[in-house]
Structure 1
Amino acid sequence: MNRLNHSVKVVLLALAGVCVVAGSAPVFAQDATFVINARENGFPTYNPLKGTKLNVANNLIFDRLVVQDADHSFHGQLATSWESAPDGMSWTFKLRKGVKFHDGEPFNAKVIEWWLPKFKGTENAYMTESIDKIVIIDDYTVKLVMKNPDPALLFNLATSFMGVPSPKSYEALGDKFGVAAAVGSGPFKLESFTVGQQTKLVRNEDYRWASDLSKNQGPAKIKNLTLREISEDSTAFLELKTGGVDALLSVPTDFLPKLQAEKSIKVVMLPGTEVFYMPINTSVEPFTDIKVREAVALAVNQKEIMSSLFGGTGAVANNFLVSSLQESKINPKFNISYNPDRSKKLLDEAGWLMGAGGVRAKGGVPLTVKLWTQNGTQFKRVTEVIQAQLKAVGVNAEITVQDAASINAMYKKKTDHQLAVRSYDYVNADILDWFFSGTRLGYPNISMWNDPKGEALNAKAMKGSKTWDERVSNFKAYHEYIMSQFLFAPIYQPTQSFAYSTTRLKMPDNIRGIKLATQSIMDIEVK
């Protein structure tokens, strides 16, 4: 029997060699290459505790306690069940047995006891700050005792920032964790990572604990997964068209017709989870004047941007939150929409009068402002249109394109930027805390807004809500106040689209989760 197996192996190896020479079939039939969303390019680390910019690889390397489906329901991953006390002051989680980290260490209640306090002092601390202490009931049961009720706890636990790392590897690597190595319990292991270029993942052959959102409960069907970072949309499109990559995890709207025209490429569209917006630095002139901030916000023609750049696909943005959220349904008087006549009137009132060359001036100083964006086709195009729209009301905006890997550090200098074109991808109202809390000036609070009333409304929304309905009400009030201060200009809500080669990949019938992520990647087959 052993001799027969040996002979078969020799024949198969010989045939594989012939295929390589003849070029008739791929050598690695289980390998796949995806291009990640350009917005996620340039991240410096795969440390979920400290990273402020993470991509899809984090959820493939690290498991979370719970994951979210497209209908926003929560499903167990490292947790099998959970229960909240009637007063919201404690949560009890039953943990999955038999889970091991990539370094062979076991997952149990002691890991949770070690992990959650590690967020203290990081930029992601708000995810866990409502937790007072962790009580171990037994090896696979933990109770989270709360400082205050937190109706959003499950949502926080489902985010990429809440991937659970191996305590042993985390402590051993120190600051190098997430860069030299990233060790979780997920379906893929980190093989290599080059900032701004690509990440290589290899299948975790021991994986047996996928959530019930994946049909495949064993190891992933993809053996080797490469995630490439390509900023230029035209380059990414050509790579998919010519077979250099197998899927684009994000498709710019203006490329949809080109991709849909390709017979071997399929485009899948999902509900949008992203908002484009233009933050305004309230700490620097001329934007210390609320009239100037309002004028600039009202100069942005959202409908023109949607129609001219995005072919009418998606939706205009009139406030800061994704329109599917209850907290986005604020009093319409607070929404921001294009109004060039009022914009010009406000600038006149603020003393910025129209001057030579169609640029306003005050005291002989022209109204010239710095408009930042980051590399990536969509960002550049949106920024150029906004530059023209601002010029139409007399504001001269000078564009600077920053590298995606370094732009957050640039924001932290606090006074170098005035306006910027950005986007975020998130479906929870506590994004308002992330971008407007006075405790995070520079980045992520790019608007540099620190206001006593705003801080009080923030605290009430984040910590003073006992029920979900109360939380919605509190966040609406906070959202409305933010809108009244004209801290940004809302721009656009794109649809969420991805594209893949039908000759290379077989997608699951249903995409589970709010985007193409671990839940569905587990079920993708390579042809």
Structure 2
Amino acid sequence: MTFSFKKTLLAASVSLAALMGAAKAQEAVFVLATSEVGTPTYNPIKAGNLNKATTLIFDRMVSQAADLSYHPWLAESWEEAADGMSWTFHLKPGVTFHNGEPFNAQTIKDWIPLFAGSDNAYMVEAIAEVQVVDDLTVKFVMSRPEPNMLYNLSSSFMSVVEPKAFVALGDNYGVTEVYGTGPFKLESFTIGQETVLVRNDDYTWGSPLAKNQGPAKIARLTFREIPEDSTAFLELKTGGVDMLMTVPADLMGEVQKEANLTLLTMPGQDVYYMPMNVTKAPFDDIKVREAAAKAINQEEILASVFGGVGSVANTFLISALPESHVSDTSKISYDPAKANALLDEAGWVMGEGGVRMKDGQPLKITLWTQSDSVFRRLTEVVQAQLKAVGIEAEITTFDSSMIRDQYKTGEQQAAVRSYNWDNADIVDWFFGGDRLGYPNVSMFNDPKAEELRAKAMTGSKNMEERVANFTAYHDYVLTQFPMAPIYQPVDAVAYNKDRLALPEVINGIGVGAIAIMDMEVKE
């Protein structure tokens, strides 16, 4: 009996150890991009900034492939009326939210009005009425055509929320509790530190762009927020985390030196740029803004800060977008002779120490940046380039999780920052006159720009017109120099190949929900 008991106990211990090992093997730890550090909520309707974890808590009506084409998700199919004045969506059956509520046409009817009064209301403002045709068919009756409808419905800011919980929880929705239909559920969220997600075992309705429609192969996923890139890399190198969701160019070589690490690069959706506050001296003078913009040597920055990885930016939009194809005269490129001539014309005379003077005052500005290492290095180079034409910039560094709140004060003169987006409506977002402070860091509110903005956002009957209207809007904004474009990175992630297996082909935008559905944790 004693032997049998010991044998049984040993077998049970081995089984328990195997189960514990299997459970551990299904867990993974990712580090969010530094630009996503400090995201304050998982409320997609009210948020101005979201992170990758959002794409796993929620699904969207439409999924977008790597080639920017649109595919089904929660909507199995759709039709747009020939005149653009209605859209009909046929919904996927059998979908439920994390709190057990069903997803159906009534969900959509209750969800769309929740955007009213939010910063993201523009995404649904063309929808005049939502009609429930039957339980799985919904119709949008439009007040005007909206050629960008499918893009909006594929955006994480139009992640489908559970309407009853959204209303009941109020401002706590997305902070203490959050309910989507996504492949993962929120277990815990500590702002600025980490988010822990657990697998939704009932999930079987993933995007067809992934081989696996569900459930996910990873059982538990932790997203850590580490604002210092070198610290995040050390964690990856030593096994503390399994993946970095972004890798700066200067660390790519270090990743490639490690036998157990793999670097994956994809076309990026980021642009680094220097916004200038057009309401504060000296940038209330367009000549000074143009001079500062043309003092930025994008090629030098690409080589010295980013190791030649990526490409220079000379407009505000990523080059993959047709709306980036503005006139050559509107593109912003390095031209120190022009920069110096403009400052001379504006009355700023070169003084002692290489700093220009006017009316006894030096040409000094504050240059805001965030605390992570790439931004610090980039800002120091920008500081030196401005000094070369006589502009002295004093760098002010803010914690990456706090800088957006600082912009809302409107006290910035200039800054070095970036955005991540792959649609031309980002011009509206960052230069719209009704969003001063943040996201409109430049405090730009120009009457002609507002006319062009309205035409771009609401005056297009089809996509061809929208591209033309946004190109004209983008072109004009560039001529007013509310910012200086700097750099377009690639989208690079690094992961421990001994721990993670990634799909051979990722047919999505970056490493998001579609890629993560096909990821596996190795035993």
State the TM-score, normalizing by the size of structure 1. 0.96
C-alpha displacement of 1:218 = 2.1
Q: Aligned ranges for residues 80-91 of structure 1 at < 5 Å?
A: 80-91=76-87
Match of 2:179 in 1: 183
The separation in 2 between residues aligned to 1:12 and 1:61, in whole angstroms, is: 38
| Amino acid across the alignment from 1:493 | Q
Confirm whether residue 383 of structure 1 aligns to residue 382 of structure 2. Answer: no
Report if the CA contact (8 A) 2:227-2:400 is conserved. Answer: no
C-alpha displacement of 1:309 = 0.9
Q: Secondary structure at the match of 1:361?
A: strand
The separation in 2 between residues aligned to 1:469 and 1:168, in whole angstroms, is: 38
Structure 1 residues without counterparts, runs of 5 or longer? 1-5
Residue of structure 1 aligned with 2:479, choices 471, 476, 484: 484
| Amino acid across the alignment from 1:159 | S
The separation in 1 between residues aligned to 2:402 and 2:53, in whole angstroms, is: 20
Q: Secondary structure at the match of 1:227?
A: strand
The separation in 2 between residues aligned to 1:271 and 1:171, in whole angstroms, is: 38
Distance of aligned partners of 1:99 and 1:342 in 2 relative to their CA distance in 1, 3 Å threshold? same
The separation in 1 between residues aligned to 2:62 and 2:225, in whole angstroms, is: 28
Confirm whether residue 100 of structure 1 aligns to residue 99 of structure 2. Answer: no
Confirm whether residue 15 of structure 1 aligns to residue 36 of structure 2. Answer: no
Match of 2:158 in 1: 162
Match of 2:304 in 1: 308
C-alpha displacement of 1:7 = 12
Write out per-residue CA displacement over residues 485-526 of structure 1, whole angstroms, 9 at most, x where no aligned residue: 011000000011111111001111111211001011011000
Q: Secondary structure at the match of 2:305?
A: helix
Distance of aligned partners of 1:107 and 1:362 in 2 relative to their CA distance in 1, 3 Å threshold? same
Report if the CA contact (8 A) 1:16-1:27 is conserved. Answer: no
Q: Secondary structure at the match of 2:515?
A: helix
Match of 1:207 in 2: 203
Match of 2:360 in 1: 364
Residue of structure 1 aligned with 2:502, choices 483, 500, 507: 507
Q: Secondary structure at the match of 1:269?
A: strand
The separation in 2 between residues aligned to 1:120 and 1:276, in whole angstroms, is: 31
Match of 1:30 in 2: 26
Match of 2:395 in 1: 399
Q: Aligned ranges for residues 421-440 of structure 1 at < 5 Å?
A: 421-440=416-435
C-alpha displacement of 1:73 = 1.0
| Amino acid across the alignment from 2:356 | R
C-alpha displacement of 1:11 = 5.5
The separation in 2 between residues aligned to 1:139 and 1:63, in whole angstroms, is: 19
Distance of aligned partners of 1:8 and 1:278 in 2 relative to their CA distance in 1, 3 Å threshold? farther
Match of 2:224 in 1: 228
Distance of aligned partners of 1:123 and 1:9 in 2 relative to their CA distance in 1, 3 Å threshold? farther
C-alpha displacement of 1:117 = 1.0
C-alpha displacement of 1:47 = 0.3
C-alpha displacement of 1:216 = 1.1
Structure 2 residues without counterparts, runs of 5 or longer? none
C-alpha displacement of 1:169 = 1.6
Distance of aligned partners of 1:39 and 1:9 in 2 relative to their CA distance in 1, 3 Å threshold? farther
Write out per-residue CA displacement over residues 395-440 of structure 1, whole angstroms, 9 at most, x where no aligned residue: 11011111222222211111x1010111111111111110111111
Report if the CA contact (8 A) 1:352-1:367 is conserved. Answer: yes
Confirm whether residue 466 of structure 1 aligns to residue 461 of structure 2. Answer: yes
Report if the CA contact (8 A) 2:61-2:74 is conserved. Answer: yes
Match of 1:58 in 2: 54
Q: Secondary structure at the match of 1:255?
A: helix
The separation in 1 between residues aligned to 2:105 and 2:95, in whole angstroms, is: 12
Write out per-residue CA displacement over residues 230-256 of structure 1, whole angstroms, 9 at most, x where no aligned residue: 111111111111110001111111111
Write out per-residue CA displacement over residues 315-366 of structure 1, whole angstroms, 9 at most, x where no aligned residue: 0000100001101011111000001111111111111111121111111111
Confirm whether residue 374 of structure 1 aligns to residue 347 of structure 2. Answer: no
State the TM-score, normalizing by the size of structure 2. 0.97
| Amino acid across the alignment from 2:39 | F
Aligned residues: 518
C-alpha displacement of 1:85 = 0.3
Question: RMSD over aligned Cα, in angstroms?
Answer: 1.7
The separation in 1 between residues aligned to 2:195 and 2:242, in whole angstroms, is: 15
Match of 1:193 in 2: 189
The separation in 2 between residues aligned to 1:479 and 1:8, in whole angstroms, is: 75
Write out per-residue CA displacement over residues 35-59 of structure 1, whole angstroms, 9 at most, x where no aligned residue: 1111100011010110111001111
Distance of aligned partners of 1:13 and 1:424 in 2 relative to their CA distance in 1, 3 Å threshold? farther
The separation in 1 between residues aligned to 2:93 and 2:74, in whole angstroms, is: 9
The separation in 1 between residues aligned to 2:413 and 2:503, in whole angstroms, is: 45
Distance of aligned partners of 1:399 and 1:135 in 2 relative to their CA distance in 1, 3 Å threshold? same
Bigger drift between 399-408 and 486-495 goes to: 399-408
Write out per-residue CA displacement over residues 351-388 of structure 1, whole angstroms, 9 at most, x where no aligned residue: 11111211111111111101001121111111110001
Report if the CA contact (8 A) 2:83-2:145 is conserved. Answer: yes
Report if the CA contact (8 A) 2:38-2:400 is conserved. Answer: yes
Residue of structure 2 aligned with 1:151, choices 132, 135, 147: 147
Report if the CA contact (8 A) 1:190-1:202 is conserved. Answer: yes
Confirm whether residue 420 of structure 1 aligns to residue 419 of structure 2. Answer: no
Match of 2:117 in 1: 121
Residue of structure 1 aligned with 2:71, choices 52, 64, 75: 75
Residue of structure 2 aligned with 1:317, choices 313, 318, 339: 313
| Amino acid across the alignment from 2:450 | E
| Amino acid across the alignment from 2:120 | N
Q: Aligned ranges for residues 129-140 of structure 1 at < 5 Å?
A: 129-140=125-136
C-alpha displacement of 1:170 = 1.3
C-alpha displacement of 1:27 = 5.8
Q: What percent identity do the matched residue pairs reach?
A: 56
The separation in 2 between residues aligned to 1:320 and 1:197, in whole angstroms, is: 31
| Amino acid across the alignment from 2:435 | R
Write out per-residue CA displacement over residues 288-310 of structure 1, whole angstroms, 9 at most, x where no aligned residue: 10000000000100000000011
C-alpha displacement of 1:131 = 1.0
Q: Secondary structure at the match of 1:351?
A: coil
Distance of aligned partners of 1:27 and 1:150 in 2 relative to their CA distance in 1, 3 Å threshold? closer
Write out per-residue CA displacement over residues 95-144 of structure 1, whole angstroms, 9 at most, x where no aligned residue: 11111100001001111011111111001111111111101111111111
Write out per-residue CA displacement over residues 171-194 of structure 1, whole angstroms, 9 at most, x where no aligned residue: 221110010111111000000011
Q: Secondary structure at the match of 2:251?
A: helix
The separation in 1 between residues aligned to 2:78 and 2:327, in whole angstroms, is: 36
